[in-house]
Chains A and B, each alone.
Chain A
């Protein structure tokens, strides 16, 4: 057996109820070594333990080149021969930055640990020696038998053994895994069900000793292959038998399952992807610049070292008075020492303070995000939260937004908003659902509220029995569905396979047609208080191909009626020739489509008894046939029955969007972002949402796979894509339609990309020109693959937003991941970089905070480069005139204080407060955002220009004082003070040129910084400090004299002005040139709005807005009776408890596929 199973790839062996067997193979780990097969069920997303924290964090931190560089600097400064600056001046900042980062990482890790332990300690029932006992998720092991209660989250991937429901069915909600909102059913293997349910279950379950052989753990959510070996039998297992971790048990009292995959082996965790450290684009560019600077410094030091060697050998050959200039007789050794000295002397060009400030700025920007009142959601009392505090400027550069649908764009609530009966439209879509005037439904004892449609005229018609159409329409709604009714507190509670059906049946209930209960053969409905029992003859099930479903019922009066609902295209095709309200119906459909409501058409047909008999016979025959042909045959048969329909009306359901979604998407698109939707849900629903959230315009041409594939395969994809856009199907205005194209793809189609990697680049270049891309029915893994595709083929920053566990992978993969917390707080938040409560907050996060952050950080980096390089590179030029001796041109204290005291505060103020335009204007002119994705402020060129400017300034800073003091009696210290003064002034003038938003802090800190320079210079050069330590404060008296010397002032001021002249000129030219542009921007921003409204008027096209989130299946279950328990309609004695309905319970086992009615 084992050999056979190995051959078929089923190597994962699970023995029920035998912990000791699995324990031997339990996965264990020590430090970084791991062995064993079976993972435990605990999630470990934390990285550190007490033992590994220090080495791991140090290892991670010294992976940053900058930290290594600073460490090297520190070590160098400890060597007295070459040291120009005391060692502690760089040691303390390094220690600070290492510990700050370490503590931050540790805090993050602790938070992860906490959320892990929250998940791991959720309760569940585990079977231990014949009885279930409460345990925690982390205690679940492979082979354990678990009991899951209603509405519990399933803790591991389980094989369903049996459940409380008939036939051991159970329902699960998989929204967290695939985003689909309909309930799915799972069924236990029949043998297990038969054996385990008929006896007291716990003993039976404890005695259960089946062995499951299945695939190794993998990430395929929709497939499962395995065998159950039990009592000598071998049962095949597939996906239908498996309850996945993360799904929720619904409508089922309890279910028993055998744990097959636990913890990290479960399918959802396999889909989660790896946690990766995210770095921003700006940081990457900047790191390159840093490396460039370090290399330049090394080069300069090397050249000076060579110079020093030559100089010392020249001095050696001329022994004389300055013999002492060369301490060591060996020029090479002198050069070697000077090399390191220059590295130290030039190291302030790349100060460690830069990294500390960078971290501080990021943290403050993150705090600002959390503090924003506009991103605080009152309803859940939750502000926005930046969980990853190092990605702020990336928010200002996003090019692609990849969004989940369910729970992110939509609220996952479906509301019956409108209907059209006999050409008459009821309800008003222009009123928001919450603001609809509630109708007086007090006459209806079953009314529970929840109808967001105001149509008193309809109610009047219904109650007045005036309009037979509307009564038929509502009867159709109350009969044609697969909903189950459960009785709670004297009223039916509906359990539907899709939220659409729940909305429809609920609306019928409100309007007086109350679906009370169903048995296999009967549907009981209360029509305006009158209980009627319809015999269910056949249920023509829904499939995504048929796009319709029908019920065939025998009315209490005896007539046969077929009620049908489905997509407009399908139903309208099947109508009788002379439909009276054709035109008005079409108009209604168009209106509903414009309002982006999901529509279903409802129709009825009276079926003659004779044709029914004929049909049912054929049905019975074909039902008995082999499976493969049967489906096709059944479909054909169904098609025969659903003909000659009489049209009743149209329902319009609103898939409730989150607040402000269309506005946000429109704004983001104006800001130049590409918004893509990635969803596990169906194509129709996704497209419908695409329209309703204004992602697609009514005249957008949808490009589907067949066509896209041809384009991709064609030799010149760009040309054929252009052609495809030209031949717009529905467009009236060809030119306009040519522009708007959207691609719709589904998961299986995307899988083809794996085989044809060369398509990726082509596809992305096409997608670039498209309005949007919708990807439907994609797995979490595929969502991440799409993000990777975008990342790989474009240089844009990608942002993923989602709420559920199925979005975790793409959130981790994208440059920036946003988790929506919503009301309950989603799974995605745990791994997201930013947590928001509402989708609409995205506009503020990106257009306001992102744009500001990007601008502030770009300014900060460029300014910091300028101020440090211009001040430090002076030593290169001074070296040429002091024998390459690494003589500092500054007082030691000035070097130490320049970056932290004299120039730090003003730039920090800019990095905190700078706004070129305020928040409201940022949202008003989203075009302003476009400079971020284009890297206008942080491109390598811009950074290079800043560097060039710094080099220029350093030249000015040295050579002008050089010219002034050449051949005079001014000493080195006076020159040092002059250059220091000029450098401080230059940095200050430069920051005043950069600042556009002068808060009181900016003004204060600019003044304070300059004043600090004078005060600190006087202090460090004062008598008292000199007397304390002559060798540390040897500049005594220098500034005292220099500050009153007019020549020093004239030289310093002149140097300053010359040094900033390029910047001032650039600013002035910019002012003169942009005057003109500003008017352009303002006048241009108004135009698109007008254009759009014109288009809207011009087009008279109609598209089908049919959408239904329902899968095939529930119909089969109903007709086979498997899912119906002993429904006891308690309210009514009038309901004739027919023999048949009780029979059905018994019959289930005997005739599962019987469609033959019993007949009354």
Chain B
């Protein structure tokens, strides 16, 4: 009896796991699966590619650079040094109707919003409305924590400090009269940013919360006065501020400024002549940057994106090509010539 027990103690368990005999599915791949598989995937990719390409083609885009590099450029005058409060008018015409809601973006090139030191230079606690961080912002905001008078900067940090401050007004010119085409700036920021990530301190009026703080050095207006027309669109939940604070992925990017979806323009932007009044404040030429504005309507896949459609088509065709090569190789192996 004792011996039996001992035997059991040393004897390995006879289970499928310990004996490495777990039931398993061992797919046997063959040319009959592989080659049709490649064809199917290739066809699927070509299908998606065509859909993307066609959709992308149907999207209308108008891009206008207004940096003012060339002498003929309407905003050239604003690029002189020591010019302030410069407004330039950018005239353009649209040949055909921009269907649906037209999105209006501003775009920047060669602008490294994805630079690490730049990106960390903000105080998330302060931006979520915590008043203690109004008094003493986090060190992460350096070098924009305190101004030269040792007053705390609110909102602190480099991102906020460098906020894009050009403003735009679009006019349609019909028979010499300018009609304002209103931009709808509501709801252009992310829902989570607007409702959770950024919050104003619960102090009314908002201005009081900013007592004994200073506005960012590059700003002309304090945070609580960003939008004079709409008191609710101020402080940290100002839509344009939120859009700016969401860092772009790459050095060429555009950011949403507003939508054209009101009144007569709800169905789209009709053909005709337009004039864009630009309050030119934001300097980009010093670092070889470019500024532009973009009008675009959107589809289910967002804005115009030809790259993805073409890429799908290329890889899809490649798969088909490879399946043909494989078929030839397979045929050679299966029916060798000497037999």
Contacts and interface: CB of A to CB of B under 8 A. Distances in A.
A1072 B118 contact: no
A1073 B246 CA distance: 52
Given A376-B12, A964-B305, A320 B284 contact: yes
Contacts of B19: 371-373
B264 to A, nearest CB: 26
A945 interface: no
Contacts of A918: 21
Q: Is the interface of A mostly helix, strand, loop or mixed?
A: helix
A1068 B125 contact: no
A963 B140 CA distance: 32
Contact of B30 (A315, A370, A1075): A1075
B76 interface: no
B303 interface: yes
B229 interface: no
B150 interface: no
Contacts of B21: 918-919
A968 B303 contact: yes
Interface string B300-334: 11110101100110010010001000100110011
B299 to A, nearest CB: 10
Q: Which of the four size classes fits the interface of chain B?
A: 35 or more
B308 A1047 contact: yes
A1045 interface: yes
Nearest to B105: A969
Nearest to A1064: B38
B191 to A, nearest CB: 7
Contacts of A852: 20
A322 B192 contact: no
Contacts of B288: 318
Given A967-B254, A996-B26, A1047 B14 contact: no
Nearest to B111: A322
B48 A1050 contact: yes
A887 B119 contact: yes
B287 interface: yes
B85 interface: no
A964 B308 contact: yes
B197 A1036 contact: yes
A881 B113 CA distance: 10
B283 A320 contact: yes
A373 B12 CA distance: 6
B112 A1046 contact: no
A1051 B318 CA distance: 18
Interface string A878-895: 000111011110000000
A1065 interface: yes
Contacts of A1057: 41, 45, 315
Contacts of B38: 1068
A372 B284 CA distance: 72
B19 to A, nearest CB: 6
A1071 B308 contact: no
Interface stretch (B3-11, B205-213, B270-278): B3-11
B30 A325 contact: no
Nearest to B159: A324
A1072 B116 contact: no
Interface string A722-764: 0000000000000000000000000000000000000000000
B307 to A, nearest CB: 4
Given A383-B10, A1057-B315, A1023 B196 contact: yes
Interface string A1048-1085: 00110010011001000101110111011000000000
Contacts of B172: none
A1090 interface: no
A736 to B, nearest CB: 30
- Of listed A322, A371, A883, residue having the most chain B CB within 10 A: A322
A598 B132 CA distance: 97
Contact of B252 (A967, A971, A976, A1045): A967
A1017 to B, nearest CB: 14
Interface residues of A, number: 85
Given A321-B284, A371-B13, A969-B256, A1061 B315 contact: yes
Contacts of A886: 116
Interface in A967-1016: 967-976, 996-1002
Contacts of B12: 370-373, 376, 383
Interface string B11-38: 1111000111111111101110011011
A1026 interface: yes
A498 B52 CA distance: 90
A282 interface: no
Given A960-B311, A967-B252, A971-B248, A1026 B107 contact: no
Nearest to B63: A967
A881 B250 contact: yes
B256 A881 contact: no
A326 B157 CA distance: 13
B115 A882 contact: yes
B111 A997 contact: no
A1071 B30 contact: yes
B174 interface: no
Given A370-B12, A887-B114, A969 B255 contact: yes
Contacts of B251: 881-883
Interface in A861-890: 881-883, 885-888
13 contacts: A84-B116, A315-B287, A324-B144, A371-B12, A376-B11, A969-B256, A970-B249, A971-B249, A1041-B192, A1047-B302, A1051-B308, A1072-B333, A1075-B334
Interface of A: 84, 315, 318-322, 324-327, 341, 368, 370-373, 376, 378, 381-383, 852, 881-883, 885-888, 913, 915, 918-919, 960, 962-976, 996-1002, 1023, 1026-1027, 1030-1031, 1034, 1036-1037, 1040-1041, 1045-1047, 1050-1051, 1054, 1057-1058, 1061, 1065, 1067-1069, 1071-1073, 1075-1076
Given A324-B118, A881-B114, 16 more contacts: A321-B162, A324-B157, A368-B20, A881-B251, A883-B114, A964-B305, A967-B253, A968-B253, A974-B249, A1023-B196, A1030-B197, A1031-B125, A1037-B196, A1050-B301, A1058-B311, A1075-B30
